[in-house]
Amino acid sequence: MIVCPLFSGSSGNSTYVEHGASRILVDCGGSGKQIENALKAIDVDPRRLTAIVVTHSHDDHIRGVGVLSRRYDLPVYASVGTWDYLIKRNKIGSVATKNIRVFQSGKTNEALDLGDVAATYFPTPHDAYDSVGYVFSDGKSTFGFATDVGHVAANVRNALLGVDAALLEANYDEEMLWGGPYPEDLKARIASKKGHLSNLDAASFAVELVKSGVKTLYLGHLSEHNNTPMIAQCTVAEVLGDGGVVPQKDCALYVANRYTPSQRLEL
């Protein structure tokens, strides 16, 4: 399986997953052009995409879903609640009926058949209705994906422990958030149990992940105002070290880039 975050952060998110004939976008939080350019930068022809998988309905995850589905005739997988919201609020325009693939997020023991890749899903604690994360599998290797999670709930933990690689949110540095310019109610929303993971939240879960077998960890969905790649990487590396994990030896640690494709991973 090949994994490559195309761009990641509160400004927009999309990650590419490939195995065999399956070429999947996890979220399309950018314009069609931005996503096409990112795919070209990693030598992927957008005409060969096979599916779009959506985590939740916030704009930084869905801006390009409709346009890419229409342009390349792509099926769109989303939870019932996410799909209803996108359609009722007219967020993505019209999608051909045959390309609508809606699932019940509660049935977490079922897997989406994406061709040569299967995806299981799990509900995430976030302030978007019916939001989910995913674990992708090619039958041999697994890649877990969890951004926009207010806290590491038991089901999120269970879903991600033991995967081979993961992209985990590290949204904000606590000092930067609380000392920063955001209004108090927005700060509280971000730090709430249905908001986003801080660097420290991500770090302590990262220790568990690496000890469970995760060999590659991307930190993603960084805030533009309340974090920097350097602070996120250092905070997580330090806590990993305190937990007896040697970063870059026991586990490769990357920060997913905000605007450009990140390290391509072959699992």
Q: Looking only at residues 48 through 67 of this chain, which bind Zn ion when binding is defined by CB under 5 A?
A: 58, 60
Q: How far is the CB of 57 from Zn ion (least distance, A)?
A: 8
Closer residue to Zn ion in complex, CB, 59/184: 59
Closer residue to Zn ion in complex, CB, 7/207: 7
Q: Which amino acid is at 175?
A: E
According to DSSP, residue 245 is labeled -
Q: Looking only at residues 171 through 210 of this chain, which bind Zn ion when binding is defined by CB under 5 A?
A: none
Tokens for 10, please give them: 């509160």
Site size toward Zn ion (CB under 5 A) is 3
Closer residue to Zn ion in complex, CB, 36/60: 60
Q: How far is the CB of 143 from Zn ion (least distance, A)?
A: 19
Distances (CA, A) of 50 to 56, 72, 219, 248: 19, 9, 26, 33
Q: Which residues contact 245 (CB under 8 A, 6 or more apart)?
A: 206, 207, 210, 211, 251
Closer residue to Zn ion in complex, CB, 12/247: 12
Task: Tell me the per-residue interface mask from 225 to 244 with Zn ion, x by CB under 5 A, - otherwise.
Answer: --------------------
Q: How far is the CB of 253 from Zn ion (least distance, A)?
A: 21
Which of 100, 103, 238, 118 lies closest to 173, judged by CA? 238
Q: Which residues contact 98 (CB under 8 A, 6 or more apart)?
A: 75
Closer residue to Zn ion in complex, CB, 62/240: 62
Distance between CA 90 and CA 51 in Å, rounded? Answer: 21
Q: How far is the CB of 205 from Zn ion (least distance, A)?
A: 18
Q: Looking only at residues 127 through 156 of this chain, which bind Zn ion when binding is defined by CB under 5 A?
A: 148
**Residue 169 binds to Zn ion (criterion: CB under 5 A):** no
First to last CA, the chain: 5
Which of 244, 240, 222, 241 lies closest to 231, judged by CA? 222
What residue ranges bind Zn ion (CB under 5 A)? 58, 60, 148
